[in-house]
Each structure stands twice: as structure tokens, then as C-alpha cells.
């Protein structure tokens, strides 16, 4: 909404026409089939431009959609292990962790205890420490290892 009586006008090609009365500027915009839109209300005098409002809104919407599409959301990927995991299986899991962190995702490492393994929690703690050491250069510890029922959890995120 244009409130002052004089405005600086820019035409549809981006050229400065000059300072004129608001009524005069609106009439000139109507002659070329466009609307007079205030682009900089805080300037002295306010700056107005000849625009097609529908096209302007469409372009703004397109820009917003493009910005939203290019945004990367951070997901939490989960890797499940057992306390007595074999070396080769451990290496496969570590490759997956490195891939996830390389893609910018957080990784939740879950260690599942079954039966009597629950009485050997230090094995699980050692395994999670090993995971932390193997990913130290690319990831940081977000949630330290903790027990939740029959499983031990740890979350690591990219540096």
C-alpha cells in the first residue's frame, strides 16, 4: 500500500523513470497493463516498480520451492550390532556408518543384548568405544553410550 504522495518509479525494464505523483505513476502502469508495486517502502521517496503481480507471486513461489528442494534434511540412520560381533561383520557395519556420516546423516548405534550377554555389559561398552575411535576423525559423539532395557545406545553425528 502506497501511502506517500510522491514515489520514485522504475519501469518494467528496470529503468529509473524518476520521482512522480503516485496517481500519475498508477495511471502510467495501467497504460502498459501492469500494476504499481511498492518494492522499497522505507526509502525516501518510496521506490515503486511496474510489475505483473500474478507473475511476480509465481516467480517468488518458484524461488521458495527451489530453496526448499535444495535443503538437505538430516536423518538418523540406525546400525544394529551384537556384543560378540565378528571382525568382518564389524567392518561391514563400519563401512555403512562411514557412508551415512559422509552423506551428512546422524548414526544411532544399537547394541542388542540377549540372555546371559546382559551380564557382560563391559563387552558392549568396549565395542561402542571402538566404534567411536574408528569414526573419531569424521564424526563426533552426540549421545554417550547408555543402557535402555536390553540394549545399549549411542548416537554419533558428522563433524
List the beta strands (DSSP E) in the chain.
Answer: 6-10, 16-21, 35-40, 47-51, 76-81, 106-112, 139-148, 151-158
Give the 3-state secondary structure of residue 14.
coil
Domain with CATH 3.30.110.10 in the chain: 76-158
Beta strand pairing call for 106-112 and 139-148: unpaired
pLDDT at 4: 62
**Contact in structure between 33 and 72 (CB atoms under 8 Å):** no
Cell of 66: 527451489
Domain with CATH 3.10.20.80 in the chain: 6-69
How many CA atoms lie within 13 Å of 72's alpha carbon, on the beta-carbon side? 8
Cell of 54: 500474478
Segments of the chain scoring below 50 in pLDDT? none
pLDDT at 126: 92
How many angstroms separate the CA atoms of 78 and 43, rounded? 53
pLDDT at 32: 86
pLDDT at 12: 84
Beta strand pairing call for 47-51 and 6-10: parallel
Closest listed residue to residue 43, CA positions, set 9, 13, 17: 9
Does the domain at 76-158 match CATH 3.40.50.300? Answer given as no
Cell of 109: 548405534
Note the pTM of the prediction, 2 decimals: 0.57
For residue 23, the surrounding DSSP H or E stretch is: helix 22-31
How many angstroms separate the CA atoms of 15 and 9, rounded? 9
Distances (CA, A) of 137 to 37, 109, 133: 53, 17, 8
pLDDT at 79: 94
pLDDT at 95: 95
| Domain 6-69 -> CATH class | alpha beta
Amino acid at each position: 500500500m502506497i501511502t506517500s504522495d510522491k514515489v520514485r518509479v522504475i519501469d518494467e525494464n528496470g529503468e529509473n523513470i524518476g520521482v512522480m505523483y503516485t496517481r500519475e505513476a498508477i495511471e502510467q502502469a495501467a497504460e502498459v497493463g501492469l500494476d504499481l508495486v511498492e518494492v522499497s517502502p522505507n526509502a525516501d521517496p518510496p521506490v515503486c516498480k511496474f510489475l505483473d503481480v500474478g507473475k511476480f507471486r509465481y516467480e517468488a513461489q518458484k524461488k521458495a520451492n527451489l530453496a526448499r528442494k535444495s535443503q538437505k534434511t538430516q536423518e538418523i540412520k540406525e546400525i544394529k550390532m551384537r556384543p560378540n560381533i565378528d571382525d568382518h561383520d564389524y567392518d561391514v557395519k563400519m563401512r555403512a556408518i562411514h557412508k551415512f556420516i559422509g552423506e551428512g546423516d546422524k548414526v544411532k548405534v544399537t547394541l542388542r543384548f540377549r540372555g546371559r550377554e546382559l551380564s557382560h555389559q563391559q563387552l558392549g561398552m568396549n565395542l561402542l568405544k571402538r566404534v567411536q575411535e574408528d569414526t573419531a576423525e569424521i564424526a563426533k559423539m552426540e549421545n554417550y553410550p547408555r543402557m535402555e532395557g536390553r540394549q545399549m545406545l549411542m548416537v554419533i553425528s558428522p563433524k
